[in-house]
A and B are shown apart, each in its own frame.
Chain A
Amino acid sequence: SQTIHQWPATLVQPVGSPLSLECTVEGTSNPNLYWYRQAAGRGLQLLFYSVGIGQISSEVPQNLSASRPQDRQFILSSKKLLLSDSGFYLCAWRPGGGEAFFGQGTRLTVV
């Protein structure tokens, strides 16, 4: 069966520090991978998606970037965090065009 791992679960980082969140999927190959953010009162906003190694599409201009160095690995990064980057970050994968399966999320607090 397929599983998705996302870590860390919580993170407190100072403004201006770098960020690296990692997501890996097991039990499948060539998944479509997604990063979402849930900010307070704003639902789930799609940040990035990837259909293959090295292929990244960005949905909104922001202080974040994503990379896919391996087939089942998706990384969300920032060089310098802003207060507005605080939120709940979710990695997801889709086996095709159907439903997405989400990781447990990372609560990021920028102080």
Chain B
Amino acid sequence: DQQVKQNSPSLSVQEGRISILNCDYTNSMFDYFLWYKKYPAEGPTFLISISSIKDKNEDGRFTVFLNKSAKHLSLHIVPSQPGDSAVYFCAARGYGGATNKLIFGTGTLLAVQP
């Protein structure tokens, strides 16, 4: 049972354009969402997060949007750069804090073409 889904396994965009990565979840008890970036043969690195009490969080070129009614979040990267090429994972945390697990999606491979 995949509670966090990234339905697009890959995405290709031109340098300078916007990249939009999507993520859907099924559990309405998730209260905190995160995006990670992963290069091959490396561990994922944290990018940005959003609490369920917000609908938008911005950090430089990265913005995460949350639509709770649709159980959907997205990561916008503007402008996209070749160095952004990586696998992006969304993750969700269940209500309850410290010991609750992070559930990850299957990832989307982003390729930014120069």
Binary contact track B83-103/A, C-beta < 8 Å → 1, others 0: 000000101010011111111
Main secondary structure of the interface of B (DSSP, over half): loop
Q: How far is the CB of B36 from chain A (nearest CB, A)?
A: 8
- The reply on B59 being an interface residue by CB < 8 A is no
- A43 to B100 alpha-carbon distance, docked (Å): 19
- Chain A interface: which size bin? 20 to 34
Question: How many residues from B make CB contacts under 8 Å with A?
Answer: 26
Main secondary structure of the interface of A (DSSP, over half): strand
- The reply on A87 being an interface residue by CB < 8 A is no
Contacts of B106 in A (CB 8 A): 41-43
CB of B45 within 8 A of CB of A102, answer: yes
Point out residues on A near B: beta carbons under 8 Å.
6, 9, 32, 34, 36, 41-46, 49, 51, 59, 88, 90, 92, 94, 96-105, 107
Point out residues on B near A: beta carbons under 8 Å.
6, 9, 32, 34, 41-46, 49, 89, 91, 93, 96-107
